[in-house]
Amino acid sequence: MGGTHFADDDLAHEATGDGDVGRRDVGKMEHGCEHYRRRCKIVAPCCKEVFPCRHCHNDATALGDRHNICRQDVEKVVCVLCDTEQPVSQVCVRCGVNMGEYFCDVCKFYDDDTEKGQYHCHDCGICRVGGKENYFHCAKCGSCYAVALRDNHQCVEDSMRQNCPICYEYLFDSLKGTRVLNCGHTMHMDCFAEMVDHNKYTCPICSKTALDMTVHWGMLDQEIEATIMPPVYRYKVWVLCNDCNKVSEVDFHVIGHKCSHCNSYNTRSTSRPADLSGSSSPLTTDSS
Ligand SMILES: [Zn+2]
Ligand SMILES: [Zn+2]
Ligand SMILES: [Zn+2]
Ligand SMILES: [Zn+2]
Ligand SMILES: [Zn+2]
Ligand SMILES: [Zn+2]
Ligand SMILES: [Zn+2]
Ligand SMILES: [Zn+2]
């Protein structure tokens, strides 16, 4: 990885005085792993082995004796430039480099690539990316969301403290971007895109429509208008709307059934509701 190395006697006269600022930047962005740019490796608190980061550790142990590192438990790091093992801190005690341009003392987290906009959210208890100014912590959902969603999303308690319904990875501290659906449920952005690619537009958890379908519903309206059903199929059916949870009685059509309350085509056929089915239903009790 072609890092910048320097002789020990250089350190003696440059680690103090004016050289400090330049010294801190030595090797910046030149070291790290597929997950982070950083100038230290961590000593795994569990198995005492040295890894570039906790994800590398978790991946490496995934096939055998699987165990994950709890980020706060990391106590020791090894400077990549001078190979010195030392307690967690931003600046190497021996050679004086920043082992991470961004450093969080709570998460024992280092990253040289500050373009990611890392910040520590005290409510989440972890470091996040994307710039503190672009996110707010929603106490009800229990996670940081984009500011555009402030007072503008369906809160689902601990929505992010679940596995992605598509790939089953735990969402809360996933390195991948996440998306909040209209219903408030969450999944990875990539997993969402893949779902839409497969022409699936509903939330896998609650079946509600996951994105704005106004245009698509308009197209269905036109298609239905243009497709007259033969007389034998001209009858009414009951549908339950997955979006507003109401039932309506609509004309049967092969293309789709539109909810007469909210105009969604995200409906499924249902039986005639008990309270409308007349006195024969055992479920109906006369309250008058
Ligand atoms: Zn890594
Ligand atoms: Zn060092
Ligand atoms: Zn942190
Ligand atoms: Zn947060
Ligand atoms: Zn919320
Ligand atoms: Zn996923
Ligand atoms: Zn949902
Ligand atoms: Zn509806």
The pLDDT tens digits of the residues spanning 191-217 come to 999 999 999 999 999 999 998 999 999
Ligand 3 centroid – CA 143 distance (Å): 14
Ligand 3 centroid – CA 72 distance (Å): 9
Assess whether pLDDT exceeds 90 at residue 4: no
Check if the beta carbon of residue 32 is closer than 8 Å to that of residue 102. Answer: no
Tell me the average pLDDT across 15-37: 84
* C-alpha distances in Å from residue 267, one per residue of 163, 208, 257, 276: 26, 9, 6, 19
Confidence of residue 64 (pLDDT cuts 50, 70, 90): confident
**DSSP type of residue 169:** -
Check if the beta carbon of residue 163 is closer than 8 Å to that of residue 171. Answer: yes
Residue 1: CB partners within 8 Å, gap ≥ 6? 30, 31
| pLDDT value, residue 276 | 59
Tell me the average pLDDT across 226-242: 95
Q: How far apart are CA 91 and CA 251, in angstroms?
A: 72
**What residue type is assigned to position 123 of the chain?**
D
Residue 134: CB partners within 8 Å, gap ≥ 6? 117, 146, 147
Q: How far apart are CA 285 and CA 287, in angstroms?
A: 6
Is the pTM higher than 0.85?
Answer: no
Ligand 7 centroid – CA 192 distance (Å): 12
Q: Of 275, 277, 273, which Cα lies nearest the Cα of 285?
A: 275
Confidence of residue 13 (pLDDT cuts 50, 70, 90): very low
Check if the beta carbon of residue 141 is closer than 8 Å to that of residue 156. Answer: yes
Confidence of residue 65 (pLDDT cuts 50, 70, 90): confident
Ligand 8 centroid – CA 240 distance (Å): 8
Confidence of residue 19 (pLDDT cuts 50, 70, 90): low
Check if the beta carbon of residue 69 is closer than 8 Å to that of residue 58. Answer: yes
Tell me the average pLDDT across 257-286: 74
Catalogue all structural domains in the chain, each as residue range(s) with its CATH number.
Answer: 8-116 (no CATH), 120-197 (no CATH), 214-275 (2.20.28.10)
Reduce the DSSP state of residue 192 to 3 states and report it.
Answer: helix
Q: Of 68, 64, 72, 26, which Cα lies nearest the Cα of 46?
A: 68
Assess whether pLDDT exceeds 50 at residue 9: no
Does the CA dihedral 152-154-157-161 come out positive or negative?
A: negative
Helix (H) or strand (E) holding 109: strand 109-111
Ligand 7 centroid – CA 264 distance (Å): 15
Tell me the average pLDDT across 53-68: 87
Q: Of 54, 172, 75, which Cα lies nearest the Cα of 123?
A: 172
Which residues are in the CB-under-5-Å shell of ion ligand 7? 183, 185, 203, 205-206
Assess whether pLDDT exceeds 60 at residue 31: yes
Ligand 3 centroid – CA 200 distance (Å): 36
| pLDDT value, residue 228 | 92
Which residues are in the CB-under-5-Å shell of ion ligand 1? 33, 35, 52-53, 55-56
Quick: pLDDT tens for 155-195: 999 999 999 999 999 999 999 999 999 999 999 999 999 99
Quick: pLDDT tens for 105-132: 999 999 999 999 999 999 999 999 999 9
